[in-house]
Structure 1
Amino acid sequence: MNVLRQLLGVVFGVAVGLASAPSLAGEVTVFAASSLKTALDEIAVQWQTSSGHTMRVSYAGSSALARQIQQGAPADIFVSANVDWMDVLDQQGLLRDNSRRDLLGNRLVLIGTDPTPAALVSDDILDRLDGGPLAMAMVSAVPAGIYGVQAWTALHIWDDLKPHVAQTDNVRSALALVALGEANLGVVYASDVVASSDIHVVASFPQTLHDPIIYPVARVSENPLNISAMTFLAGAAATEIFRKNGFTVLGGQ
């Protein structure tokens, strides 16, 4: 009998210990547009510090990420650099119901390594290139490239400019081409300029030249940590980081 009582006592103690132990740390996988890297890397660290959970972020062009999700890639949350790719996933039933929201806005800029004061973009771009290439994200698929084509087309110079364009997989790769001196100028987001001290804004694109730049976010999986992670992305700490990195926070604090 004493042995049985001792055994029951051990079992009870283990049960109490398990009930009072902190919940195990979990993980959320975020698929995010490349232009978000500097901000989201910092936000992921802050979320882990405050929650004890890990936010792993996979960066690429929004088009590539959307296609990976279509093929069953294990994303929990998707942050796109435009609404079109999020629309595609929404229409295919790949987003969780009522989870989508517009998170951020951005601006399109022309960059170079010359720290001259920025002006508005104009039709003298060919003279500015001086025979060199213009770095842009893929103009038929990646949002930054699509916005750029819209702007150049509105200025009636896309046909002349197109032969000079060096296309990259994503907007951060376009930034790198300019920083490395492999392209004279590039088209990126204002937020990307924060990522490189060697890059300067040569000119800004009037926002009337292209569709609004909106970053929607949505849940892709049923990971129970998704809601907590998305709440953090819209919270005060993340908002401060996004603004510091050149984004406009939509409907945030």
Structure 2
Amino acid sequence: MKNLKKIVLSLVTIALLVLMVACGQSGNQHAATPIPTVTPEPTQAAEPVNLTVSAAASLTDAMEEIKAAYINENPNVTIDYIFASSGSLQQQIENGAEVDVFLSAAVKQMDALKNKGLLIDETRKDFLENKVVLIVPKNSTSVTGFKDLTSEAVKQIGLGEPTSVPVGQYSEEILKNLNLLDSIKSKVVYGKDVREVLTWVETSNADAGMVYETDAKISDKVKIVAHAPEGSHVPVYYPAAVIKASKNVDAATDFVNFLYSEKAKPIFEKYGFAFMVK
């Protein structure tokens, strides 16, 4: 009898052990399946782009600051500037220069490119306005207004070359409307762009000169003695556009849209331009 009890007890113990093992295996089967770790693919960097921007010389300082602001938001973009008179830049583009964006100091040059089918027309916009002023060396007292240009004390007057430099075209229009051009023509020396005229007056190589107000304001060596009278010349508007032959149309369009944006406005206004985009 005792042996029978031992046998029964052993069988019960074995059964319990088998049951415990089975439960353990069942628990393992229902354990949560670990989620495989997925390493995200790195974000692909934007393709590098180099833009060539031809801009009127009067935009030099403002555009350098614009470049820094734009590249800060678009680090894949590099920008090369060509600064010269608007007429010279127009001719370069007409002759096939690889340019992505053109910024002119007058609508005349932009219209010429439009008429030859060289622009992406929908990207064009007049976005800045400037003023024409008469300047003299900082310490000069011989000129206080346009009429003083006829004085014998004034030997040389700096103007932009009217055939290629917009400020020269505006200047001659102003002087004609003031009935002064014929009487001072013999004193006039013509500069290749507005910055050359500014330099002549800064160094007293010219007794007076006509430049944009924005150019005069960047120099501490000249002073403004007169603004062009209201109505004495057509408005000084600066248009921008993407060149149709650009190999970087998307990036170039994005850049001109930046020029038209509220982000660019305070930079241009800092240098004295009136921002026209509403």
TM-score (norm 2): 0.79
- Quote the Cα distance in structure 2 between the aligned partners of 1:116 and 1:107: 22
Report the Cα offset of residue 206 of structure 1: 1.4
Q: Distance in 2 between matches of 1:219 and 1:120?
A: 42
Map 1:99-138; keep pairs closer than 5 Å: 99-114=123-138, 121-127=145-151, 130-138=153-161
Query: What residue is the counterpart of 2:254 in the other structure?
Result: 228
Distance in 2 between residues matched to 1:231 and 1:186, nearest whole Å: 34
Residue 80 of structure 1 corresponds to which residue in structure 2? 104
Q: 1:107·1:207 contact (CA, 8 Å) conserved in 2?
A: no
Query: Which range moves more in the overlay, 32-41 or 193-202?
Result: 193-202
- Number of the residue aligned with 2:90: 66
Single out whichever of 196-205 and 28-37 deviates more from structure 2: 196-205
d(CA) in 2 for partners of 1:28, 1:207? 38
The 1:134–1:35 alpha-carbon spacing in structure 2 relative to 1, beyond 3 Å, is same
User: Contact conserved, 2:121 with 2:241, CA < 8 A, in 1?
Assistant: no
Tell me if the contact between 2:56 and 2:104 (Cα under 8 Å) persists in the aligned partners: yes
Residue identity in the other structure for 1:91:
N
Task: Name the Cα RMSD after superposition.
Answer: 2.1
- Say whether the 8 Å CA contact 2:161–2:190 is kept in structure 1: yes
Q: Percent identity?
A: 31
C-alpha distance in 2, partners of 1:170/1:142? 6
AA matched with 2:212: Y
Q: Is the 8 A contact 1:174 1:188 kept in 2?
A: yes
Give the whole-Å Cα distance in 1 for the aligned partners of 2:230 and 2:89.
26
**AA aligned opposite 2:47:** L
Equivalent residue number for residue 117 of structure 2: 93
1:171-228 deviations in Å (ceiling 9; x for gaps): 0110011111111111000010122111211111113111111101111025120121
2:189 to 153, 156, 166: 166
Distance 1:88 1:151 in 2: 23
Shift in Å, 1:103: 1.0
Letter in 2 for 1:69: I
- Distance of 2:144 and 2:48 partners within structure 1: 48
Cα offset for 1:48? 1.0
Q: Which runs of 5+ in 2 are unaligned?
A: 1-38
Partner AA of 1:178 in structure 2: V
Are residue 246 (structure 1) and residue 278 (structure 2) matched? Answer: no
* C-alpha distance 207-116 of structure 1, shift in aligned 2 (>3 A): farther
Gaps in structure 1 of 5+ consecutive residues: 1-12
Counterpart residue number, 1:22 = 45
Q: TM-score, normalised by structure 1?
A: 0.87
Aligned partner (choices 233, 239, 243) of residue 216 of structure 1:
239
- Pairwise CA distance, 1:16: 4.1
Please say which structure displays the higher CA radius of gyration: 2
- Residue 144 of structure 1: aligned partner: 167
